[in-house]
């Protein structure tokens, strides 16, 4: 395959000469004009976020805080542009077999990792092998590579990747930071060392991780491999990035207001209107593709092994009014298994499961839960209709408030929900064991094949890493998604993914809540050139620079 022409397209975040029209519920439009300032080399940009990664290596586990920071120090084999097209990055071109099960990558010959190791075909093999190694414990990258068999080193700069079945979303997956390329020499240090300081080919280097405080990133002076959407070549403008962790929403927003932080993410919804009115700030809100924020119902055990009970729970939840009250109208309802900005989103799911207590009551009666105890909860054979909601103790106040509203409306129809605020290690242990009734989650990705990752039977694994948190096991869904993977015809894919969305929604496997969203505020006086990369709308600081205030 001859690579398409390089097209530089990126959403500017904070340059004063760009106008970004963003709303609380969508991607918005972008109108560009020539930059009014020339890049100023040097300087330190302070970026403040809410959540600290548990590991800086995005191959391990695979949560969004890892991807956010990894985007700054890892490059990928390919890139996704603003029009959804795959472009060359570390791979200059690639060939795909007729059955879409073998991908041959031709690589750049002039790139090195920041520890001096050469980027080559052997490095590609080491990375893909690392992602699928069970010892890596990769829930995201490893999940995306479920069809992976092996990588054959054809030549020093030619790597042939063999999959066990046709897999048309493969290139889209490779464009994400979760599958960024790391130094094989660094990987060999072991999981602990690599979690603390992964080594990439990217524009920044992890200098130091000060736990519970920040990550210090310094400029890679030899950087020569920017993505096709970058606005310049050579090293980054910034000398340093301080990636701070400020969990408390009000404190984080105050930091960008005062200039103690140049950019913040997780802009609190209660402060969005203030940020948009504040002439000192530029706010950008961008909904992300994938499986939206949801509560997954564990269909592998009672009470949610009964589809009628699952449906009753979905009807019990007043999500629309809950979002209005706790997120100040800044989040839209996600009714289906795909966020509306995901390719091949079928539409029409926002009202698929409306708040309808009468329908919930009727379903529970038919399911054998026709009696209530003195507290108003449904009972059957002396047992209460109860369910645990697996939550981390550091859940945001807004999210907790939404969970409490769902708990209250569930009680109205007879569910006894217990919200469990547990430490991350305990949550992870119980999740791996399948020891939960409801679990909050989401899955950000740039392809509708996220449906396979989240609802495919092969990902419903007890006592191990699994992305199918609802334990959905429907052969009809599996057939549709496997067929979609096996074709590159876009019309066929759209039809197949559309049918899969219908079956998944009808199965009542998730209470979908709202799209995952990148929510940023930047200080106008200091920040220029920061951007959102096209694949997952993650912050991208390679083109950024800072001006003295």
Residue 66 forms part of a structural domain: yes
**DSSP string of 506-520, one letter each residue:** HTT-EEEEE--EEEE
User: Are 90 and 234 found together in one domain?
Assistant: yes
User: Are 470 and 385 found together in one domain?
Assistant: yes
The closest alpha carbon to 139, from 64, 196, 215, 80, belongs to 64
Tell me the sheet residues that pair with 264: 48, 521
Read off the pLDDT of residues 275-323 as tens digits, 9 standing for 90 and up. 999 999 999 999 999 999 999 999 999 999 999 999 999 999 999 999 9
User: Are 535 and 466 found together in one domain?
Assistant: no
Q: CATH number of the domain at 138, please.
A: 3.40.190.10
Write down the pLDDT at residue 465: 81
Mean pLDDT of the chain: 91
What share of the chain has pLDDT > 90, as a percent?
85
Beta strand 240-245 pairing with 214-219: antiparallel
Whether the per-residue pLDDT at 30 is higher than 50: the answer is: no
The closest alpha carbon to 471, from 480, 481, 479, 463, belongs to 463
User: Are 109 and 89 found together in one domain?
Assistant: yes
Report the distance separating Cα 334 and Cα 350, nearest Å.
Answer: 6
Write down the pLDDT at residue 24: 32
User: Are 251 and 368 found together in one domain?
Assistant: no
Torsion (CA) 313, 454, 351, 408 in degrees, nearest 10: 30
User: Are 334 and 371 found together in one domain?
Assistant: yes
Write down the pLDDT at residue 540: 96
User: Are 362 and 467 found together in one domain?
Assistant: yes
Beta strands in 223-338 (DSSP E): 240-245, 263-264, 281-287, 290-297
5-29: b or e for each residue (b if 16 or more CB lie within 10 Å)? Answer: eeeeebbbbbbeebebebebbbbee
**DSSP string of 135-183, one letter each residue:** GG-BSSHHHHTTTEEEEEEEETTEEEEEESS--TTHHHHHTSGGG----
User: Are 224 and 306 found together in one domain?
Assistant: no
Whether the per-residue pLDDT at 548 is higher than 80: the answer is: no
Residue 6 forms part of a structural domain: no
Read off the pLDDT of residues 272-285 as tens digits, 9 standing for 90 and up. 999 999 999 999 99
CB atoms within 10 A of CB 170: 24
Whether the per-residue pLDDT at 512 is higher than 50: the answer is: yes
Residue 549's pLDDT band (cuts 50, 70, 90): low
Read off the pLDDT of residues 65-124 as tens digits, 9 standing for 90 and up. 999 999 999 999 999 998 889 999 999 999 999 989 999 999 999 999 999 999 999 999
Whether the per-residue pLDDT at 8 is higher than 50: the answer is: no
Residue 386 forms part of a structural domain: yes
User: Are 339 and 424 found together in one domain?
Assistant: yes
User: Are 358 and 251 found together in one domain?
Assistant: no
Residue 68 forms part of a structural domain: yes
Write down the pLDDT at residue 497: 98
Report the distance separating Cα 518 and Cα 546, nearest Å.
Answer: 21
Residue 2 forms part of a structural domain: no
Residue 3 forms part of a structural domain: no
Contacts of 358 (CB under 8 A, 6+ apart): none
| Residue of 34 and 396 predicted with greater confidence | 396
Burial class (CB within 10 angstroms; exposed 0-12, middle 13-18, buried 19+) of 277: exposed
Write down the pLDDT at residue 385: 98
Residue 450 forms part of a structural domain: yes
User: Tokens 């969305």 sit at which residue?
Assistant: 501
User: Are 494 and 539 found together in one domain?
Assistant: no
Q: Which two tokens stand for residue 423?
A: 């430490």
Query: What is the total residue count of the chain?
Result: 549
Domain containing residue 277: 11-286+518-546
Residue 1 forms part of a structural domain: no
Report the distance separating Cα 248 and Cα 259, nearest Å.
Answer: 17
Q: CATH number of the domain at 475, please.
A: 3.10.105.10
Q: What is the DSSP letter of 112?
A: B
pTM here is 0.90
User: Are 274 and 295 found together in one domain?
Assistant: no
What's the domain count of the chain?
2
What share of the chain has pLDDT > 70, as a percent?
93
Contact 375, 317 (CB under 8 A): no
The closest alpha carbon to 294, from 344, 249, 243, 349, belongs to 349
Write down the pLDDT at residue 200: 98
Report the distance separating Cα 503 and Cα 493, nearest Å.
Answer: 15
Q: Measure the CA angle with vertex 390, ends 388 and 394; round to 5°.
A: 135
């Amino acid at each position: 395959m001859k690579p398409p022409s390089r097209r530089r397209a990126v959403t500017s975040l904070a340059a004063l000469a760009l106008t970004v029209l963003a709303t609380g519920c969508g991607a918005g439009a972008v109108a560009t004009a020539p930059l009014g300032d020339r890049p100023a080399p040097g300087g330190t940009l302070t970026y403040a976020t809410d959540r600290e990664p548990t590991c800086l290596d995005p191959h391990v586990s695979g949560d969004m805080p890892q991807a956010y920071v990894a985007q700054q120090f890892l490059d990928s084999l390919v890139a996704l542009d603003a029009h959804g097209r795959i472009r060359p990055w570390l791979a200059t071109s690639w060939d795909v077999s007729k059955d879409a099960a073998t991908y041959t990558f031709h690589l750049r010959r002039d790139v090195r990792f920041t520890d001096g190791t050469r980027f080559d075909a052997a490095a590609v093999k080491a990375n893909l092998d690392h992602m699928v190694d069970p010892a890596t414990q990769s829930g995201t990258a490893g999940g995306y590579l479920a069809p992976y068999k092996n990588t054959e080193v054809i030549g020093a700069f030619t790597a042939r990747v063999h999959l066990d079945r046709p897999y048309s979303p493969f290139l889209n997956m490779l464009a994400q930071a979760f599958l960024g390329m790391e130094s094989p020499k660094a990987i060999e240090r072991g999981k602990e060392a690599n979690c603390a300081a992964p080594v990439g080919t990217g524009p920044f280097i992890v200098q130091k991780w000060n736990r519970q405080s920040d990550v210090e990133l310094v400029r890679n002076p030899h950087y020569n491999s920017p993505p096709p959407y970058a606005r310049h070549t050579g090293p980054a403008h910034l000398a340093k990035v301080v990636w701070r962790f400020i969990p408390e929403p009000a404190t984080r927003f105050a930091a960008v207001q005062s200039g103690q932080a140049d950019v913040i993410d997780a802009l609190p919804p209660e402060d969005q209107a203030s940020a948009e009115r504040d002439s000192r700030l530029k706010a950008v809100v961008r909904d992300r593709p994938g499986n939206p924020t949801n509560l997954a119902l564990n269909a592998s055990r009672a009470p949610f092994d009964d589809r009628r009970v699952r449906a009753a729970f979905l009807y019990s939840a007043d999500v629309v009014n809950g979002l209005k009250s706790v997120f100040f109208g800044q989040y839209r309802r996600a009714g289906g298994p795909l966020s509306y900005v995901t390719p091949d989103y079928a539409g029409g799911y926002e009202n698929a499961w409306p708040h309808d207590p009468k329908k919930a009551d009727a379903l529970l009666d038919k399911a054998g839960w026709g009696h209530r105890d003195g507290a108003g909860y449904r009972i059957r054979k002396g047992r209460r209709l109860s369910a645990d909601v697996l939550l981390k103790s550091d859940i945001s106040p807004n999210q907790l408030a939404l969970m409490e509203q769902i708990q209250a409306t569930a009680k109205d129809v007879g569910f006894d929900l217990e919200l469990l605020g547990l430490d991350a290690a305990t949550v992870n242990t119980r999740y791996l064991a399948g020891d939960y009734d409801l679990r909050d989650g989401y899955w950000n990705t740039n392809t509708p094949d996220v449906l396979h990752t989240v609802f495919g039977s092969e990902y419903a694994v007890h006592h191990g890493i699994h992305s199918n948190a609802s334990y959905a096991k429907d052969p009809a869904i599996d057939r549709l998604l496997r067929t979609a993977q096996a074709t590159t015809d876009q019309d066929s894919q759209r039809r197949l993914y559309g049918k899969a969305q219908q079956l998944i929604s009808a199965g009542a496997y998730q209470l979908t809540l709202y799209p995952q969203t990148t929510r940023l505020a930047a200080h106008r006086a200091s920040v220029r050139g920061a951007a959102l990369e096209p694949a997952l709308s993650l912050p991208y600081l390679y083109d950024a620079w800072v001006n003295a205030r």
